[in-house]
Structure 1
Amino acid sequence: MEGDLIEGYFRNELTPAERGAFEQRLAADPAFRHEVEEHGKAVRLVRLLGRQALKARLAERGRQLDAEKARSGFRLPWRITLLATALLALAWWFWDRQTEDSSTPLPDTEIRRDSAETPAPPAPGAAEQAEPKPSAENSPSAAPPAAESSSSHEQLFAAFFRPYHDESLEPAVRGEGEPTPEEQFRQLYWEGRYREALAVFEVLENASKSNANLQFLQANCLLATGQAKEAALALENVLRTSRSRFLPEAQWLLALACLKDGNKGKAKALLQQMAQDAGSPMQEEAGDLLERIERWLQGT
């Protein structure tokens, strides 16, 4: 409901009374104002990427036409050339909105075996395909495990882990201008390009690097690229500051990071805390994984 209100504000669809109430809340509620600002900034990267792709294709077609004219010695009228190039660019634009970049490999596909996992994020402009807001069943890494009880700690990790996604992370499309590094990081994370996202995270300003929510996403990237020790450090910092909206998920991912790193004792301790906490959204998954770890240890 609040998301609809913010979207209506940016689309100028609110009534005068609604707009007045919205702006009063904007002035009085810093958290709400931050959410509105993030909504406004999140769209820039998508538009920039689309413009850059269109310009590149337009330039390439122009070079092809120049080469053809040089070979044939025949020069088309410049208006016809410009029109043909524009039509080709428009066709590329429509095609690009409907397809993913086939040259970008899916990261770490071995951990995406579960049939109930979250689908790949939609391409910009395909908002109707956006995934629903997760419940405990589709929160991070909560897919039903596919590994057998005798699996190693690496196999158990692979069966339970998946990078976190919910609709609040989906980039919107609005605004102009160059994207900030933080916007680039969020966009790359949403697209599942975790190694590239980590590279962008390194150039963020210190204020952004210390943001617990961004650190949580960084930890997901680290786990998705096999860097369990580094992910555990980031997640421990998130839990220590207690300033993230992803605290239950961070505790779950920390247990998985410890499991992947072979630290079974700490993984079990974290899982026991969640399994005994009736208020934890990860209680059921923690109990399930804990039981499988116990069976695995008994079989070794």
Structure 2
Amino acid sequence: MKHEELITGYFEGTLTAEQQRAFEQLLVTDAAFAREVEFQREVRQAIVLNERAQLKQLLRNHEQTKHNATPRLRWWLGAAAAVLLVVGGTWLWLRTSSAPVLYAAYYQAYPNTVLPTVRGGASESTAQAAFRAYDRADYANAEKSFETLYRDTGEAYALLYRGVSLLELGRFADADSVLAQYPAHQPLHGYACWYRALALLRLGERAQAHELLRELAQGTTPLGQTARELLSRL
């Protein structure tokens, strides 16, 4: 499989186990491939956030090195330029009803907003280990550490971050199960519902995803507008 096909499959969640291993190996051994993946991630995030100015600047920055870029990187630059033509217009790419594409378009990992507030106590080392792995994108170890943290302390945020780690690992059913446990009275409940809706969408459970998104769309959380946009594409 060509490198660009591996990258597309990664973001659309369609890689087989063998292809996923090949993708992860290339990330470690091929610096140009890793740069392409990161660039494509930034382009997709820029589109999802409707940041046209951000995307233009991103393309300008890469244009400076375009003539020295590898053929594969030039391929992605061209693809990004084509995407720019529809941003703010028809949003053709986002309007597809394909669950993997919608998932890739709207998903991005929740940032670490908790660790700076974790101080002292028996749980400190576990929390630090969990977030250290999470920040390094070592989601396999992060997932295990957050599982331990929740079991030992009952901290609700551990459920959210474990759920996101499971999404990163492609374990969508497990992510749904974990995120469904998030207490409704906790501050990050809306985000747990959002990521659970994405997990359900990726699993093909559109009716359940639709129900969660409708609740978010009717609420007052910052996710309301994004939930309404995704609902319009389901």
Normalising by structure 2, we get a TM-score of 0.57
Partner of 1:286: 227
How far is the alpha carbon of 1:187 from its aligned partner?
1.3
How far is the alpha carbon of 1:146 from its aligned partner?
8.2
Quick one: which amino acid aligns to residue 160 of structure 1?
A: Y
Partner of 2:107: 161
Partner of 1:152: 98
How far is the alpha carbon of 1:280 from its aligned partner?
2.1
Please tell me whether the aligned partners of residues 111 and 162 of structure 1 are also in contact (alpha carbons under 8 angstroms): no
Q: Report whether the alignment pairs 1:263 with 2:205.
A: yes
Per-residue CA shift, 1:14-47, capped at 9, x if unaligned? Answer: xxxxxxxxxxxxxxxxxxxxxxxxxxxxxxxxxx
Partner of 1:184: 129
Match of 1:245 among 178, 187, 200: 187
Please tell me whether the aligned partners of residues 271 and 286 of structure 1 are also in contact (alpha carbons under 8 angstroms): yes
Seen in structure 2, the aligned counterparts of structure 1 residues 147 and 220 have a Cα distance that, compared at 3 Å, is farther
Q: Report whether the alignment pairs 1:223 with 2:167.
A: yes
Give the structure with higher Rg (CA): 1
Tell me the percent identity: 25
How far is the alpha carbon of 1:164 from its aligned partner?
0.4
Seen in structure 2, the aligned counterparts of structure 1 residues 223 and 170 have a Cα distance that, compared at 3 Å, is same
How far is the alpha carbon of 1:147 from its aligned partner?
3.6
**C-alpha distance in structure 2 between counterparts of 1:226 and 1:197, whole Å:** 14
Quick one: which amino acid aligns to residue 155 of structure 1?
A: V
Seen in structure 2, the aligned counterparts of structure 1 residues 219 and 232 have a Cα distance that, compared at 3 Å, is same
How far is the alpha carbon of 1:290 from its aligned partner?
0.5
**C-alpha distance in structure 1 between counterparts of 2:108 and 2:224, whole Å:** 17
Quick one: which amino acid aligns to residue 265 of structure 1?
A: A
Please tell me whether the aligned partners of residues 111 and 159 of structure 1 are also in contact (alpha carbons under 8 angstroms): no
How far is the alpha carbon of 1:115 from its aligned partner?
4.3
Match of 1:197 among 114, 139, 142: 142
How far is the alpha carbon of 1:230 from its aligned partner?
0.8
Please tell me whether the aligned partners of residues 170 and 190 of structure 1 are also in contact (alpha carbons under 8 angstroms): no
Seen in structure 2, the aligned counterparts of structure 1 residues 248 and 203 have a Cα distance that, compared at 3 Å, is closer
Seen in structure 2, the aligned counterparts of structure 1 residues 205 and 276 have a Cα distance that, compared at 3 Å, is closer
Partner of 1:276: 218
How far is the alpha carbon of 1:154 from its aligned partner?
1.1
How far is the alpha carbon of 1:253 from its aligned partner?
1.1
**C-alpha distance in structure 2 between counterparts of 1:207 and 1:224, whole Å:** 23
**C-alpha distance in structure 2 between counterparts of 1:192 and 1:146, whole Å:** 30
**C-alpha distance in structure 1 between counterparts of 2:141 and 2:212, whole Å:** 30
Aligned pairs for 1:8-157 within 5 A = 113-116=43-46, 147-157=93-103
Per-residue CA shift, 1:202-225, capped at 9, x if unaligned? Answer: 4447223x3211110000101111
4+ long deviations beyond 4 Å: 102-106, 108-113, 202-205
**C-alpha distance in structure 2 between counterparts of 1:206 and 1:276, whole Å:** 33
Quick one: which amino acid aligns to residue 195 of structure 1?
A: A
Per-residue CA shift, 1:147-196, capped at 9, x if unaligned? Answer: 43124111101110011015x34559x99xxx722210011112222122
Seen in structure 2, the aligned counterparts of structure 1 residues 202 and 235 have a Cα distance that, compared at 3 Å, is closer
Seen in structure 2, the aligned counterparts of structure 1 residues 158 and 146 have a Cα distance that, compared at 3 Å, is farther
**C-alpha distance in structure 2 between counterparts of 1:188 and 1:267, whole Å:** 29
Unaligned runs of 5+ in 2: 1-27, 50-87
**C-alpha distance in structure 1 between counterparts of 2:136 and 2:225, whole Å:** 29
How far is the alpha carbon of 1:199 from its aligned partner?
3.2
Quick one: which amino acid aligns to residue 273 of structure 1?
A: E
